[in-house]
A = this chain, B = another copy of it.
Amino acid sequence: MSKKALSILLRTRMRRPNDHSKLSPSSVMKPTAIDQMQLDGRKLREQGNEFVSGGLGVSKREMGSVLESMRAAITMKKTEFPDSVLDEFSEGYLFLSHEDRMNLLLVLAKEYDCDRASVRDLMKQYLGIELPAGDKAQTNGPEEDVRLSAFYRTEKNLRQALKPAYELLFEQLNTHRGGLKFLTILRADILSILREENIASLRALDTDLKEKLITWLSPAALELHQLTWDDSASLLEKIVACEALHPISSLVDLKRRLGVGRRCFGYFHPAIPGEPLIFIEVALLRKVAETIQEVLWDEPPIPEHEATCALFYSISSTQPGLAGINLGKFLIKRVVTLLRRDMPHISTFATLSPIPGFMQWLLSKLASQSKLAEAEGMPYSSKENTSLTFQENILEPEEENALLELSIDGRNGMEKMLNLISNADEWASSDEFLAVLKTPLMRLCARYLLQEKKRGKALDSVANFHLQNGAMVERINWMADKSEKGLAQSGGIMVNYVYRLESIEDYAQSYFTSGTIQASADVHRYVQLNKHSSSNE
């Protein structure tokens, strides 16, 4: 790919993020439909909640004809040859305005679920049948077997009747070229509607579609490829568009991430060719980096043979329509295997990860606890006993004292801290504030990572991802990501998770069975301190 072509591409992205009409990603099968899909997928991602109409100067399709092809696709027999009908529907859909897409999805959710009258009839029939006694034992003879066959048939019919009609459409699309990609666009639209308004029937449809997508996107079917500067512009364009954690700022930046001392691997599904579903960026370093600045801006890179550490510094998924579906299973393990084969001198496999839920958790904890503390302090408050149970000063005494000395609004340490850290521009650029905040933020971050759980698993999504892959929490790094996002989400802190080859399986297993989070002594120390002081309260 010529440097000029890619720089045009990057400029397009940087200057006019919502207009890709000048780009035409190549496609062998169906240029129009797939181009459109790709454009839409990207646009949806970039515009967040916004729908995108077909555009491209083509007039919008009639809603009626798209509805008609949808109906035809659903009522068609299975295992037959409905390619043209499915093409018509999916192409038609992509040219609908966003209002029409929403209306169509609501029709699908409400009118094409299950035939409840026949469900009720079958249920009454089923309840009238005696439970087969021979079911748990060996069959007792031909008559019994005939009776059992009839029973299983009724059960199967019931299952069939309860299956929403739209599942047929999803199944047809899954077998269709480009259909899986189309389904991810459909789901992105659905999620976008549901963020605006919680519609029960559409929620039920989404649950159904998500379940289907999970079984269709089996991690065992995903293929790992290294992405390099020799890949096509259309592929690299997607990397640029989808790197959400540490945005790619320039042509030089992109080339750097694919060049010497760096690796980029993508997980591809054969039914969605030409774009990875998820990709991971790796830096080859002399030691585990503490800050993202070192990784993104170190120059020149070290000679690769001197590297002893492979640092995973970014994992991005590319399909908003696959939200909530874990595609990363095996990814780390396979990349580690690959890197070790090619570079036996690398002995440490670590990440440099954000803690995306930390500040949100901390802010809400500070808000609720400072209110409880205030209520306790007021003599005539109507405080109840129950509130006391949940009350806790999440600050250590010396942290509280240091905070109280600051000239910030707030009637106690927690309220002061809340007010202070709510404005990242202010605290992160002041040495005085940083000095006061470092101790409590680092300690509470360790607590958040090691002790805050939801259904027995780490509350933080990135922590949960790496822990279930068999990693341990090795180190937390102060002011490791000073970007706006890094400060707002992770309080500027980053964490190194480490994968030790000899313990990956054991750690994954014990996290899976008992929720055990493995951590280094250094990280544990922050929390032990906290425990000690809690027992004094």
Q: Could you tell me which A residues sit within 8 Å of B by CB distance? A: 79-84, 106, 110-111, 114, 116, 120, 123-124, 126-127, 131, 135-139, 145, 148-149, 151-152, 155-156, 158-159, 162-163, 171, 174-180, 198-201, 203-204, 207, 212, 214-216, 218-223, 269-271, 326, 329-330, 468, 505, 508-509, 511-512
Is there an interface contact between B81 and A175, defined as CB atoms closer than 8 Å? no
B-chain residues with CB within 8 Å of residue A162 when the two chains form the complex? 155, 158-159, 162
Q: Which of A156, A175, A207, A511 has the most CB of B within 10 A?
A: A175
Q: Which residues of B contact A175 (CB under 8 A)?
A: 218-220, 329
Beyond A215-B174, A216-B216, A271-B218, whether A203 also contacts B81 by CB under 8 A is no
- Find A509's partner among B81, B120, B219, B508 (CB 8 Å cutoff): B81
Q: List the 7 closest pairs (A to B, CB-CB), nearest first.
A: A148-B200, A152-B204, A149-B200, A220-B271, A221-B271, A221-B270, A81-B512
Given known A145-B199, A145-B200, A508-B81, contact A218–B116 (CB-CB < 8 A): no
Q: What CA separation (Å) do A148 and B198 show in the bound complex?
A: 11
CA of A151 to CA of B512, assembled, Å: 33
In terms of DSSP, what is the predominant structure of the interface of chain A? Answer: helix
Beyond A106-B138, A114-B155, A175-B220, 12 additional pairs, beta carbon < 8 A: A79-B326, A81-B512, A110-B135, A156-B204, A158-B162, A159-B162, A162-B162, A177-B220, A177-B330, A212-B215, A215-B215, A221-B271
Copies assembled: 2
Contacts of A222 in B (CB 8 A): 270
Taken together as a complex, chains A and B put the C-alpha atoms of A179 and B220 apart, in Å, by 8
Pick the residue among B111, B218, B512 that contacts A136 (CB under 8 A): B111
- 21 A-B pairs with CB atoms under 8 Å apart are A81-B511, A82-B512, A84-B505, A84-B509, A106-B138, A111-B136, A123-B123, A123-B127, A124-B127, A152-B200, A152-B201, A162-B162, A171-B215, A175-B218, A175-B219, A180-B218, A180-B221, A216-B218, A221-B270, A221-B271, A270-B270
Whether A174 contacts B218 by the Cβ 8 Å rule is: yes
Chain B nearest CB from A208 CB (Å) reads 8
A532 to chain B, nearest CB (A): 34
Q: How far is the CA of A136 from the CA of B139 in the complex (A)?
A: 45
Nearest chain B CB to A183's CB is how many angstroms away?
Answer: 11
Q: Which residues of B contact A120 (CB under 8 A)?
A: 127
Chain B residues lying within 8 Å of A114, measured Cβ to Cβ, are: 155
> Looking across the interface, which residue of chain B has its beta carbon closest to that of A152?
B204
Query: In the complex, are the beta carbons of B80 and A468 less than 8 A apart?
Result: yes
> Does the CB pair A176–B220 fall under 8 Å?
yes
Which residue in chain B gives the minimum CB-CB distance to A80?
B512
A140 CB, nearest partner CB in chain B, Å: 11
* A468 & B156 in contact (Cβ 8 Å cutoff): no
A174 and B220 form a contact (CB under 8 A): yes
Q: How far is the CA of A152 from the CA of B180 in the complex (A)?
A: 26
Asked whether B216 lies within 8 Å of A215 as measured between CB atoms, the reply is: yes
Chain B residues with CB below 8 A from A214, complex form:
79
Residue of B nearest to A181 (CB): B220
